[in-house]
C-alpha cells in the first residue's frame, strides 16, 4: 500500500503585533489564527507538548472581574511554556494615577507581552490600551475593552466553524439583546460579533430595544464588512425577527451606551421594561431545528435564557468556552514567539 501523505505543515509569525481589535487583522491572518488555535487544540487533547514561549512572561492587567478570560490566559501561557502575572488595577500604581505611558514602558521591559481587560466605561478601555501599546515594546493584547472582545469573538467564530464547517457563507446569525438584572454588561461582545462575522459571509441580524443601541462606529464597521465580505447586516427591533430561520442565536444582555459610564444602574432600571426579552423554547422554535445556541457566559439563567435552552441539545456554550483557551494560546503564540509557529492547517470544518 502506498504511504500516507505527510500532513502539511505551515509556519506563521506575527511577532510584536498588537491584538486590540479584529479590525486591524486581515481575513487571511484571522484564518491563520484559527488554524493555529485548532492545531493547539489537537496538541492539547493529545497531550503533545507545545512550548512555543519558553521562559516568556505576560502581564495580565484586569480592571474588571473575569473567569474564562483570566483562566484561559493563565492556563494558556503555562501550557506554552511561559508565565502569567495576574494584576488588578487596585494593586498597581495605576490606581494612584500612573500613566499608560509609564506602565507600558516598564512592563514591556520586564516581560514579553501586556494583556489588558478594561471594558465597563465607554470611551476609556480601548483608548487606554492603545496608549499603552504606543509606548510598549512588547505586543498588547485586548482581553476585552469597551469596543471589542476579540478573544471571545475569535472563539465564537472557531466554534461556529467546528459545528457548521469552514464555509460560513449565508449562515444566519441572530445577535440579540436579552434581559439581565445582575449588572450593566459591556457592549463589546455584540459589537465584536457584528464587526467580525459578516466578514466571513454570514448574515447577521442585530436585535435590541430602542435604548440599547451599540456604538455608531461599530455598526458602520459591520455594514462595511458585510458589503466587503459578502455577508449581510441589518437591525431589528424584536427577538422574533432575528431568531426566525436562524442558524445561530447569540442572545445576551448589555448596558445602555448613554448611561454606562455615568450611571450603570440606569441601564438596569430601563431593562426592567424588557424582562420578556428572554431566550426560551418558544423563540428557539422560530429558528432552524439544528440552530446553535451560544453565549459567552456567564449567562443570567432565568433572565437571559431558560435552563431548558442553555442545558438543551442545541446549546454549545461549553464547547464555546473551551475554545477560549485555544484561541488565547494562538494569539499569544503568534504575537509573542520570536520564531515561526509550526502548525497543521485545517481543523474547524
The pLDDT value recorded for residue 291 is 98
pLDDT reading at 177 higher than 60: yes
Which value, to the nearest 10 degrees, does the dihedral of the CA atoms of residues 140, 142, 145, 148 take?
130
The pLDDT value recorded for residue 20 is 98
Distance CA 320, CA 157 (A): 9
Domains of the chain: residue spans and CATH: 10-148+324-342 (3.40.50.1370), 150-320 (3.40.50.1370)
Distance CA 148, CA 191 (A): 6
For range 258-287, the mean pLDDT: 91
Residues 192-251 pLDDT 10s: 999 999 999 999 999 999 999 999 999 999 999 999 999 999 999 999 999 999 999 999
pLDDT reading at 41 higher than 50: yes
pLDDT reading at 349 higher than 60: no
Question: Confidence class of residue 1 from pLDDT cuts 50, 70 and 90?
Answer: very low
Give the distance between the most distant pair of CA atoms in the chain. Answer: 71
The pLDDT value recorded for residue 164 is 95
Residues 314-328 pLDDT 10s: 999 999 999 999 999
The owner of cell 503564540 is 333
Residues 124-170 pLDDT 10s: 999 999 999 999 999 999 999 999 999 999 999 999 999 999 999 99
pLDDT reading at 348 higher than 70: no
When mean pLDDT is compared across 9-18, 34-43, 55-64, 294-303, the lowest value belongs to 9-18
Amino acid at each position: 500500500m502506498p504511504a500516507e501523505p505527510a500532513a502539511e505543515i505551515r509556519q506563521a509569525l506575527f511577532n510584536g503585533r498588537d491584538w486590540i481589535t479584529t479590525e486591524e487583522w486581515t481575513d487571511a491572518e484571522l484564518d491563520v489564527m484559527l488554524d493555529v488555535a485548532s492545531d493547539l487544540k489537537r496538541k492539547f487533547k493529545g497531550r503533545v507538548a507545545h512550548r512555543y514561549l519558553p521562559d516568556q512572561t505576560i502581564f495580565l492587567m484586569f480592571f474588571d472581574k473575569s473567569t474564562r478570560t483570566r483562566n484561559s490566559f493563565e492556563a494558556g501561557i503555562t501550557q506554552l511554556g511561559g508565565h502569567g502575572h495576574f494584576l488588578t488595577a487596585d494593586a498597581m500604581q495605576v490606581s494612584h494615577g500612573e500613566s499608560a505611558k509609564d506602565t507600558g514602558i516598564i512592563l514591556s521591559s520586564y516581560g514579553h507581552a501586556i494583556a489588558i481587560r478594561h471594558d465597563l466605561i465607554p470611551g476609556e478601555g480601548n483608548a487606554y490600551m492603545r496608549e499603552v501599546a504606543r509606548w510598549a515594546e512588547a505586543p498588547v493584547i485586548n482581553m476585552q475593552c469597551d469596543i471589542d472582545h476579540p478573544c471571545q469573538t475569535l472563539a465564537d467564530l472557531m466554534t461556529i466553524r467546528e459545528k457548521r464547517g469552514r464555509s460560513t457563507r449565508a449562515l444566519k446569525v441572530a445577535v440579540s439583546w436579552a434581559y439581565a438584572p445582575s449588572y450593566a454588561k459591556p457592549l463589546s461582545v455584540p459589537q465584536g460579533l457584528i464587526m467580525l462575522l459578516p466578514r466571513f459571509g454570514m448574515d447577521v441580524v442585530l436585535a435590541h430595544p430602542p435604548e440599547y443601541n451599540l456604538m455608531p462606529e461599530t455598526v458602520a464597521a459591520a455594514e462595511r464588512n458585510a458589503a466587503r465580505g459578502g455577508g449581510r447586516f441589518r437591525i431589528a427591533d424584536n427577538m422574533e425577527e432575528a431568531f426566525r430561520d436562524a442558524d445561530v442565536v447569540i442572545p445576551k444582555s448589555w448596558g445602555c451606551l448613554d448611561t454606562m459610564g455615568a450611571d450603570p444602574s440606569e441601564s438596569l432600571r430601563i431593562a426592567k421594561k424588557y424582562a420578556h426579552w428572554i431566550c426560551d423554547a418558544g423563540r428557539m422554535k422560530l429558528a432552524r431545528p439544528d440552530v446553535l445556541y451560544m453565549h459567552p457566559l456567564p449567562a443570567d439563567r432565568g433572565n437571559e435564557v431558560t435552563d431548558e435552552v442553555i442545558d438543551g441539545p442545541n446549546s454549545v456554550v461549553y464547547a464555546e468556552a473551551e475554545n477560549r483557551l485555544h484561541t488565547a494560546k494562538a494569539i499569544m503564540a503568534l504575537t509573542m514567539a520570536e520564531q515561526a509557529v509550526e502548525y497543521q492547517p485545517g481543523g474547524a470544518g
